[in-house]
Amino acid sequence: MPHRPQLALIGPMGAGKSSIGRALAGLLERPFIDLDRAIEAAAGAEIPLIFELEGEAGFRRREREALAAHLAGTGAVIACGGGVILDPDNRQLLRERAFVVHLVASVDEQLERLARDRSRPLLRTGDRRERLRELAREREPLYAGCADLSFHGRGGAPAVAARELAGRLVEISPDLVVRDDD
Ligand code: S3P
């Protein structure tokens, strides 16, 4: 993949970026990087604690650093946090360094997937549906503007969605699924 060496997954919380991304990386025989987990490892703290101690601004700074560090590599599948596209520099870097896939999910699908989740500070609110709608209104144009491909996994098993996505990628850009060292 000479021009855009990484494959990045963007999209809202609960769209399946981590689960589909991991399965996709397996199919493509590429390393998988979950940016949220990389941020936690670098900080030595989980995301809720980072938000508590440093606020969302502190988390976004760490997210910017982690994204730049991981986009500097080659050949990986990177699952990004839902808010990564808020920063214009992040969007530019993603477009320069990655083939960007927007994983689409409806608010109903997000609510179902995240029903038992307590690890997302932005969902610590009485009305999750309204919060997810607000975030979607603000962010959907940014996801769409940054993406090379939009893909809706339709709530199926991650392995099934990953296979379908891999098939779409082969059609669009065979380079993406051919390893540099093949
Ligand atoms: C966030 C999404 C989360 C995580 C953090 C903030 C967001 O990642 O980065 O809680 O702003 O949408 P996921 O999209 O993987 O849930």
108-142 pLDDT, tens digit per residue, is 999 999 999 999 999 999 999 999 999 999 999 99
Please tell me the predicted confidence (pLDDT) of residue 182.
45
The model's pLDDT over 19-31, given as tens digits with 9 standing for 90+, comes to 999 999 999 999 9
Q: How far is the CA of 182 from the centre of ligand 1 (A)?
A: 35
User: Which residue's CA is minimally distant from atom 16 of ligand 1?
Assistant: 13
Indicate the pTM of the whole model.
Answer: 0.95
What is the DSSP code string of 7-66? EEEE--TTS-HHHHHHHHHHHHT--EEEHHHHHHHHHTS-HHHHHHHHHHHHHHHHHHHH
User: Which residue's CA is minimally distant from atom 3 of ligand 1?
Assistant: 81
Ligand 1 pocket mutation pick from 59, 119, 122 by most atoms within 8 angstroms of CB: 122
Alpha carbon separation from 25 to 57, 107, 108 (Å, rounded): 30, 26, 27
Q: How far is the CA of 116 from the centre of ligand 1 (A)?
A: 15
State how far the Cα of 6 lies from the Cα of 70, in Å rounded to an integer: 9
Residue 137 DSSP SS3: helix
What is the DSSP code string of 82-109? TTGGGSHHHHHHHHHHEEEEEEE--HHH
* Per-residue confidence band for 37, with pLDDT thresholds at 50, 70 and 90: very high
User: Which residue's CA is minimally distant from atom 15 of ligand 1?
Assistant: 81
Please tell me the predicted confidence (pLDDT) of residue 1.
39
